[in-house]
């Protein structure tokens, strides 16, 4: 609507300017003719005719004055139209510049948004990793808490087992250690035989004495075992005497 009205006004102004130009040319020629013919007309007219002629002349001057005003208005309109065109051109240029700046700003904004999205994705991944680590730590802490709660009971049980084992070991007389007759058992058998006990009675005597002392006997001291202990003791004594004689400087009887 604005463009059509501007074009319409421009056409009207151009038409008015052409009419004014033609009117000026005709007016110059008419003024020359009027000056020549006024004198002749005034001579021919009477008093009433002269009054009408004067009125017509004044009316023509009024029309001429109004026409001049219209011409001035037309010039002003043309000038304002030119200014309006210049303003429109300036506004169009400003609008284009704003559009370019806006497009550039939008492009930069999209780039920044892309960077922020990537950063958010990285942060989301880190947060998920941290959450998984947190869950693992929570489960580990829960397991450790359970272990701590069980540690006291386990320690008490271990202490009780050790005490029971120690009591059992102390209250048990082992004849053999790892399948071999202990040296203390052989010494005991030799001592009892030396005191006058027969080898066959050594085992029952030791069992009876230890039972009276509330000591459990693990194994049996047989007659053969007692005899072997005595024989081994004699052989060991002979070997000791022989070794002592070898190492000594002399002997006395």
pLDDT in tens, 31-46: 555 555 555 544 444 5
Better-scored residue on pLDDT, 121 or 225: 121
Q: Is residue 231 part of a domain?
A: yes
Whether residues 8 and 92 fall in one domain: yes
Q: Which domain holds residue 202?
A: 171-247
- Residues 176 and 91 occupy one common structural domain: no
**Residue 215: burial class (beta carbons within 10 Å; 0-12, 13-18, 19+):** middle
* Domain assignment of residue 13, yes or no: yes
Q: What is the pLDDT of residue 22?
A: 66
- Last residue of one domain, picked from the residues 98, 124, 148: 98
Residue 127, in any domain of the structure: no
Instruction: Quote the pLDDT of residue 20.
Output: 63
CA-based R_g, the chain, Å: 72
Residue 72 lies in a domain: yes
Is 2 a residue whose pLDDT tops 50?
A: no
pLDDT at 55 exceeding the cut of 60? yes
Residue 123: pLDDT above 80?
Answer: yes
* Position 24 confidence tier, pLDDT thresholds 50, 70, 90: low
pTM value?
Answer: 0.32
CB atoms within 10 A of CB 19: 14
Task: Give the β-pairing of 172-174 and 216-218.
Answer: parallel
Q: At which of 71, 98, 125 does a domain end?
A: 98
7 and 92, same domain (yes or no): yes
152 within some domain: no
Same domain assignment for residues 175 and 94: no
Determine the pLDDT at residue 180.
76
pLDDT in tens, 197-251: 777 777 787 777 777 777 777 777 777 777 777 777 665 555 556 666 667 665 5
Is the pLDDT reported for residue 5 higher than 80? no
Looking at per-residue confidence, does 223 or 113 come out higher?
Answer: 113
The structural domain count of the chain equals: 2
Predicted local confidence at residue 3, as pLDDT: 46
Sign of the four-CA dihedral 191, 195, 198, 202: negative
Residue 183, in any domain of the structure: yes
Domain boundary among 98, 133, 149: 98
Phi (first) and psi of residue 216, to 5 degrees: -80, 140
Q: Specify the pairing of strand 176-177 against strand 180-181.
A: antiparallel
Lowest-confidence range among 65-79, 118-132, 193-207? 193-207
In a domain, 54, yes or no: yes
Residue 65 lies in a domain: yes
pLDDT at 186 over 60: yes
């Amino acid at each position: 609507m604005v463009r059509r009205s501007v074009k319409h006004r421009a056409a009207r102004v151009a038409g008015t300017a052409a009419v004014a130009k033609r009117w000026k040319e005709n007016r110059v020629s008419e003024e020359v003719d009027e000056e020549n013919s006024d004198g002749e007309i005034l001579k021919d007219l009477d008093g009433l005719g002269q009054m009408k002629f004067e009125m017509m002349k004044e009316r023509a001057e009024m029309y001429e004055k109004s026409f001049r005003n219209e011409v001035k208005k037309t010039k002003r309109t043309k000038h304002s139209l030119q200014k309006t065109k210049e303003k429109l051109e300036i506004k169009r240029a400003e609008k284009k510049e704003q559009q370019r700046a806006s497009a550039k700003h939008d492009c930069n904004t999209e780039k920044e948004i892309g960077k922020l999205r990537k950063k958010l994705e990285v942060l989301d991944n880190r947060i998920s990793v941290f959450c998984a680590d947190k869950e693992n730590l929570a489960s580990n802490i829960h397991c450790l808490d359970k272990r701590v709660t069980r540690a006291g009971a386990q320690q008490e049980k271990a202490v009780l087992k050790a005490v029971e084992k120690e009591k059992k070991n102390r209250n048990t007389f082992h004849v053999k250690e790892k399948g071999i007759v202990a040296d203390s058992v052989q010494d005991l058998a030799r001592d009892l035989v030396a005191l006058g006990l027969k080898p066959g009675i050594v085992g029952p005597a030791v069992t009876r004495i230890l039972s009276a002392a509330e000591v459990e006997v693990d194994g049996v001291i047989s007659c053969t075992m007692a005899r072997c202990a005595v024989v081994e003791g004699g052989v060991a004594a002979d070997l000791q005497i022989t070794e002592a004689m070898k190492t000594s400087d002399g002997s006395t009887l």
